[in-house]
């Protein structure tokens, strides 16, 4: 435990190790109950779709924090900054000049064939030229201790509220150890997020009116929506609370209509505006896209960022970094096979039992095939799907995620697979909250960390140098 592959202890885990050694069974149970009750009382829950045992659950929390030393964090920070810059330049480019396509680096089919490509955005200048204002990039650590990027979530990444609440819980449960470790704080996130939003205000010289647009109480991240709106001191609204009139968006309040400048929307493009996207959407606001295209209201993230989230686009991010920034990628990708490339497709179909196959536009661990643990029937189904629509599938080798000591059943401490989702804010500056959400696969041997698939989380401590 708390050691690398050679059995050598990590120095930065020494104090933590001693603290947990000294903890008796009753004390541990006590702390656990304290934390869990806290979560339950505050309603820090999420919803699992397609599950019949009561939809609301608390997000399982593990008491042992993950510790990231300063030098490792600096590298992550640098790598993520590089990545978000390149992704934004890419999005700007594909909706304007398309130089990267003309120069032959990214095939046009990949861009316009992406499910979330929005032709409506071609030639549109978005506020401050920023597309992805809030990004949650998933990182994993491989066998050699290097961090790799698993995916970029450039639409509506969620999880930041758990990060903030986990920290509060740890501070209460282990105040002494927390202070001893000199952990970099995270609690200014809502403030930074608000600044990021205000930076987009289309009406200069006036206090920006920001609002958070939620799909409503049935959304799995509804807790997070209320949490962030409260922390930022902005209104939380549903589609029906907003109205678009003559190209402006207003919020219905008890004192009449108030013009809204910036909307932090936690709603996918598809549902934003029934007059432009999905006609059957009752969650959106008719006319909001018109106001957006006229520049009278700003949306965060911008419309059309889903192209960058596409798992086929993901494979091209290292090329984007070299092209736009003239640098080598600091954080590498997981090797990725693209089913629409004939050679790759052949390889994928021949090696299904060794690979992880993912649909290009699904998230939350849905729509994927874990080769090694799959049945032959599942593999056949996927092979047929891949043949039918190769553009929509990618495959990656199974990367053995790093494991982290975790308290399991019977209070045993065992290694469980973890990943890391840092949150990046791109406003006037690029700010990355120290650490991120560490998700842990609580089932032994499992590599799937998604909360919807039996994952839990840990607090993540980035240390001062």
Those residues with Cβ within 8 angstroms of residue 272's Cβ, 6 or more apart along the chain or in another chain = 265, 281, 284, 285, 288, 289, 299, 303
Residue 457: helix, strand or coil by DSSP? strand
- Candidate segments 8-16, 26-34, 89-97, 448-456, binder of other proteins by CB under 8 A: 89-97
The least distance separating other proteins from the CB of residue 117, rounded to whole angstroms, comes to 16
State which of positions 112-151 bind other proteins (CB under 8 A): 129
CA separation for the pair 211, 229 (Å, rounded): 8
Of the pair 29, 97, the CB lying nearest other proteins is at: 97
Interaction between residue 103 and other proteins (CB under 8 A): yes
| Gap between the terminal Cα atoms of the chain | 24
Q: According to CB under 8 A, which residues from 420 to 439 bind other proteins? A: 428-430
Does 90 contact other proteins by CB under 8 A?
A: yes
- Residue 56 or residue 97: which is nearer to other proteins going by CB? 97
**Helix, strand, or coil (residue 193):** helix
Q: Is position 85 an interface residue for other proteins (rule: CB under 8 A)?
A: yes
Q: Does 100 bind other proteins (CB under 8 A)?
A: yes
Number of residues in the chain: 465
Name residues contacting other proteins, limited to 299-338 (CB under 8 A). 323-327
Q: Does 89 bind other proteins (CB under 8 A)?
A: yes
CB under 8 A: which stretch of 38-46, 98-106, 338-346, 359-367 binds other proteins?
A: 98-106
How far apart are CB 319 and other proteins at their closest, in Å? Answer: 11
**Rounded CA separation 90/92 (Å):** 5
Provide the CA 97 distance to its chain's centre, in angstroms.
28
Q: Which of 4, 99, 240, 351 binds other proteins (CB under 8 A)?
A: 99
Shortest spacing between CB 96 and other proteins, in angstroms: 6
Task: State which residue, 101 or 334, has the beta carbon closest to other proteins.
Answer: 101
**What track of x and - describes contact with other proteins for positions 241 through 280 (by CB under 8 A)?**
----------------------------------------
CB of 139 to other proteins, least distance (A): 17
Which residue's CB is nearer to other proteins, number 62 or number 77?
77
Quick one: 93 or 459, whose CB is closer to other proteins? Answer: 93
| Rounded Cα distance, 264 and 424, in Å | 15
Q: Which is nearer to other proteins, 18 or 97 (CB)?
A: 97
State how far Cα 43 lies from the chain centre. 21
Tracing tokens 């497709």 back to the chain, one arrives at 345
On the 0-12 / 13-18 / 19+ scale of CB atoms within 10 A, 194 is buried
Interatomic CA distance for residues 395 and 21, integer angstroms: 41
Q: What is the closest distance, in whole angstroms, from the C-beta atom of residue 221 to other proteins in the complex?
A: 31
Give the residue among 152, 159, 156, 160 at the shortest CA–CA distance from 86.
152
CB of 464 to other proteins, least distance (A): 9
Q: How far is the CB of 146 from other proteins (least distance, A)?
A: 18
Q: Min. distance of Cβ 325 from other proteins in angstroms?
A: 6
Q: DSSP letters along 141-189, please? A: E-TTS-EEEEEEE-S----HHHHHHHHHHHHHH-HHHHHHHTBPP-TTH
Rounded Cα gap, residues 47 and 152, in angstroms: 22
The CA–CA distances, whole Å, from 56 to 135, 137, 214 equal 26, 26, 18
Which of these ranges, 75-83, 177-185, 345-353, 440-448, lies near other proteins under the rule CB under 8 A? 75-83
> Two tokens at 238?
């549903």
- Work out which of 19, 92, 385, 403 binds other proteins, going by CB under 8 A: 92
Contact criterion met (CB below 8 Å) for 363 and 153: yes
Instruction: Tell whether residue 82 is a contact of other proteins (CB under 8 A).
Output: yes
The footprint of other proteins (CB under 8 A) covers 74, 78, 81-82, 85, 88-90, 92-93, 96-97, 99-100, 103, 129, 323-327, 428-430
């Amino acid at each position: 435990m708390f050691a690398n592959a050679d059995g050598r202890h990590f120095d930065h885990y020494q104090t933590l190790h001693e603290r947990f050694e000294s903890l008796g069974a009753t004390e541990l149970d006590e702390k656990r109950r304290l934390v869990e009750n806290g979560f339950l009382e505050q309603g820090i829950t999420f919803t699992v779709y397609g599950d019949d045992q009561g939809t609301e659950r608390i997000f399982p929390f593990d008491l042992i924090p993950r510790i990231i030393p300063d030098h490792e964090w600096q590298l992550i920070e640098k790598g993520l900054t590089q990545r978000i810059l390149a992704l934004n330049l890419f999005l700007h480019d594909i909706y304007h000049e398309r130089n990267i396509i003309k120069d032959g680096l990214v095939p046009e089919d990949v861009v316009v064939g992406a499910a979330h490509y929005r032709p409506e955005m071609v030639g549109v200048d978005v506020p401050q030229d920023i597309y992805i204002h809030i990004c949650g990039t998933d990182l994993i650590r491989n066998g050699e201790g290097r961090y790799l990027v698993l995916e970029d979530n450039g639409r509506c990444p969620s999880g930041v509220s758990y990060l903030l609440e986990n920290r509060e819980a740890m501070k209460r449960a282990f105040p002494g150890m927390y202070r001893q470790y000199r952990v970099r704080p995270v609690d200014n996130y809502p403030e930074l997020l608000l600044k990021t939003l205000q930076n987009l205000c289309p009406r200069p010289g006036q206090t920006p009116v920001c609002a958070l647009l939620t799909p409503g109480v049935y959304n799995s991240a509804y807790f997070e929506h209320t949490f962030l709106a409260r922390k930022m001191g902005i209104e939380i609204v549903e589609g029906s609370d907003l109205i678009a009139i003559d190209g402006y968006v207003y919020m219905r309040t008890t004192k009449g209509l108030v013009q809204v400048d910036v909307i932090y929307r936690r709603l996918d493009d598809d549902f934003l505006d029934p007059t432009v996207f999905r006609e059957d959407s009752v969650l959106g606001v008719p006319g909001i896209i018109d106001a957006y295209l006229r520049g009278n209201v700003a949306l965060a993230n911008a419309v059309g960022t889903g192209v960058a989230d596409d798992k086929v686009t993901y494979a091209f991010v290292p090329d984007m970094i070299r092209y736009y920034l003239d640098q080598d990628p600091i954080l590498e990708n997981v090797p990725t096979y693209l089913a629409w490339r004939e050679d790759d497709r052949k390889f994928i179909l021949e090696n299904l039992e060794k690979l992880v196959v993912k649909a290009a536009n699904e998230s939350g661990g849905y729509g994927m095939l874990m080769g090694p643990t799959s049945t032959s029937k599942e593999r056949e189904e996927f092979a047929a799907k891949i043949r039918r629509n190769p553009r929509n599938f990618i495959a990656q080798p199974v990367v053995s995620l790093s494991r982290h000591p975790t308290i399991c059943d019977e209070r045993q401490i065992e290694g469980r697979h973890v990943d890391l989702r840092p949150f990046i804010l791109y406003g006037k500056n690029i700010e990355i909250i120290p650490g991120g959400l560490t998700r842990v696969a609580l089932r032994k041997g499992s590599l799937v960390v998604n909360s919807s698939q039996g994952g839990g989380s840990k607090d993540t401590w980035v240390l001062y140098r």
